[in-house]
Structure 1
Amino acid sequence: MSNKMTIKYGEIQNLALEATFIRSETNRKEKTIIYIHGGGLVYGNRLDLPEVYINQLLDAGYDFFTLDYPLAPESKLSEIIQSAANGVNWFLEHAIPAFGIQTNEYILFGRSSGAFLCFLLNKGYLQQRPKAIVSLYGYHSLMNSAFKGPSQHYLKFPRMETSALTRLIGGTPLVNGSIEKRYALYVYYRQTGKWVYQLVNPNESLVNYSLIKDELLTLPPTFLTASTADQDVPYEITDSLSEIIPNNELFTVNGLEHDYDRNTNLPESQQLYVRMIKWLETV
């Protein structure tokens, strides 16, 4: 069997939802990292994690499973979270025979909005909860004031014109939104303060997509990281999570951008994955 397989776990409006599984061939832990990509829920794709990091996880003995989910605004958050849940639940039901592995024990790993989905999935969407969560510069709630109004950081960018952006929005779901095309859409939503309201239906409450303190107290062991200079997701969010989640490890970096590990040459990026893998061995 090849150590890499792509499967279809579901569909949305006739669009296939796929996932890719990569098997570890050394030091097998018999646990799978289920990765959910970031991109503000507006852009990105399941294969965005740099290969160097995937190889580090594989070398440490963890299998790797990364899944599609439909992007906003073509799909709303209710469809996004249900699709992600369907992907994880497919893994729980089918992974042992499909991939020839011994257990379906798994760890949820998300970056930014992917980490947000990892947290949300623990609101009763999963047949079996993860052994642990890895949140890289993530968040657990849409209620934060930094998300609900115009972003001072993004207002420093050139203003995006509504007419130019309408061409970026399709009439049917999509799962692969290139940063070259779709990042402008995210910037526009953050400049105008419309971001969270594009994610939900008009009659929905943001509370439905946020974890309250009592829910955070029930989370499995969680690894957290963020930069003190994060201008997209305030560092205070990660800091507060470290004060509430009962079993967690916090890796703080100073003065770097939001998704700092995008630069694989940064010493802090390299330290992050070494620290994360060492922590994973304890859960």
Structure 2
Amino acid sequence: MYTQTIVYKTVESSSILADLYWEESAKPLPILIYLHGGALMMGSRKLINQDQLLKYLAAGYMVIALDFRLIPETKLPDIIEDVKDAFQWIRKNASQYAPVNLNKIAVIGHSGGAYLALLSGYLITPRPCAIVSFYGYGDVFWKCIPEADKNKQLLPFLSKEETIKSIGTPNISENFDLGTRLPFYLHCRATGEWPIALLGIDPKLHPEKFVRYCPIKNIDAQYPPTFLLHGDRDTVVPYTQSQQMANELQKAKITSRFQLVPNADHAFDMNGLKDNTIEKYFSDVIEFLDQYCK
């Protein structure tokens, strides 16, 4: 396996990084962009699971794991610009590292990264050849619902002033230690203020400003083939988010697949592929990607 860490853009004094992974190949490799989870508040490109990475490489893909700026310091439109700029960097530079097929770029995301992946289906030009969403969401309005009872079990309820101490670094784009920003995340979930952190606007006052950022409301005839996977016991993102997205894709006659994973919570795949059932789902993902990216 070959690896290379690159800077795909610089914002002020902050370098935003990506990790490239590939195997030697005589044929052009399709590209799989990985977008990490963490509610767009936490996480890093380093969250990519090694078992999954090796499976993608063995299937003949170059994998590019991205960092992107995080909320609330950066708002969603600028995060989308990061993803767009990553696509541009890839199209200009990826061929310096390995033979690649720039007409075959797919996006895979987990949780918040899956939300970004679904956004890429209509906000990125040219569009991805396929999208894979693990426990993602196509609508942001459900996150307006306060969940104080659930989240007070994880941390004592903290005031906004206390939680704000866990954030504030300008243009942060990598936070591998999820716990450092967890208080702010839980505060947003408990109060229903995640959409405000996302755009800096209250969706209850200006719901129209959020429509552009709800994939479920922006499916058109050119939306890419999409595979959605979600655990039926997800306690973080309701599986109905993927189910509803799948229904809308079907109504629009977009090639899609929805896999409800039995007895599975959020991030059901992050312990690797030792479970034969989870490994089978990843084989299905590879089969789906191969159909539209090769």
* TM-score (normalised: structure 1): 0.90
Contact 2:94 2:100 in 1 (8 A): no
Specify the alignment match of 1:219 in structure 2.
223
> What secondary structure, in the 3-state scheme, does the structure 1 residue paired with 2:64 have?
strand
Contact 1:225 1:238 in 2 (8 A): yes
Shift of 1:214: 5.1
- Report the Cα distance in structure 2 between the residues aligned to 1:269 and 1:227, rounded to whole angstroms: 11
Matched letter for residue 134 of structure 1: V
The CA deviation string for residues 227-257 of structure 1, in whole angstroms up to 9 with x for no partner, is 1111211111111222222211222112221
**Pairing partner for 2:211 from 207, 212, 231:** 207
Shift of 1:28: 5.7
Which has the larger displacement, 108-117 or 210-219? 210-219
- Report the Cα distance in structure 1 between the residues aligned to 2:166 and 2:6, rounded to whole angstroms: 28
Cα distance change on mapping 1:271 and 1:153 into 2, 3 Å: farther
Which has the larger displacement, 180-189 or 260-269? 260-269
Contact 2:137 2:237 in 1 (8 A): yes
| Structure 2 residue 233 is the aligned partner of structure 1 residue 235 | no
> What secondary structure, in the 3-state scheme, does the structure 2 residue paired with 1:10 have?
strand
* TM-score (normalised: structure 2): 0.87
Specify the alignment match of 1:254 in structure 2.
262
- Report the Cα distance in structure 1 between the residues aligned to 2:99 and 2:241, rounded to whole angstroms: 36
Shift of 1:175: 1.2
Contact 1:224 1:250 in 2 (8 A): yes
Any residues of structure 2 matched to 1:1-283 within 5 Å, and which?
3-25=2-24, 30-96=29-95, 98-104=96-102, 105-124=104-123, 126-143=124-141, 145=142, 147-151=143-147, 152-162=149-159, 163-177=161-175, 178-202=177-201, 205-213=209-217, 215=219, 217-245=221-249, 246-264=254-272, 265-283=274-292
> What secondary structure, in the 3-state scheme, does the structure 2 residue paired with 1:249 have?
strand
Cα distance change on mapping 1:212 and 1:271 into 2, 3 Å: closer
Cα distance change on mapping 1:91 and 1:26 into 2, 3 Å: closer
> What secondary structure, in the 3-state scheme, does the structure 2 residue paired with 1:262 have?
coil
Overall identity of the aligned pairs, in %: 26
Q: How many residue pairs end up in the alignment?
A: 278
Cα distance change on mapping 1:44 and 1:131 into 2, 3 Å: same
- Report the Cα distance in structure 2 between the residues aligned to 1:81 and 1:282, rounded to whole angstroms: 27
Which has the larger displacement, 15-24 or 244-253? 244-253
- Report the Cα distance in structure 2 between the residues aligned to 1:281 and 1:195, rounded to whole angstroms: 35
Shift of 1:155: 4.2
Shift of 1:184: 2.6
> What secondary structure, in the 3-state scheme, does the structure 2 residue paired with 1:121 have?
helix
- Report the Cα distance in structure 1 between the residues aligned to 2:150 and 2:60, rounded to whole angstroms: 40
- Report the Cα distance in structure 1 between the residues aligned to 2:259 and 2:23, rounded to whole angstroms: 26
Cα distance change on mapping 1:95 and 1:79 into 2, 3 Å: same
Which has the larger displacement, 198-207 or 51-60? 198-207
Contact 1:137 1:227 in 2 (8 A): yes
- Report the Cα distance in structure 1 between the residues aligned to 2:231 and 2:61, rounded to whole angstroms: 26
> What secondary structure, in the 3-state scheme, does the structure 2 residue paired with 1:258 have?
coil
The CA deviation string for residues 63-118 of structure 1, in whole angstroms up to 9 with x for no partner, is 1011110111111111111111111221123222x223242121111011101111
- Report the Cα distance in structure 1 between the residues aligned to 2:200 and 2:155, rounded to whole angstroms: 28
- Report the Cα distance in structure 2 between the residues aligned to 1:161 and 1:34, rounded to whole angstroms: 36
Alignment RMSD: 2.1
Matched letter for residue 275 of structure 1: D
Contact 1:92 1:127 in 2 (8 A): no
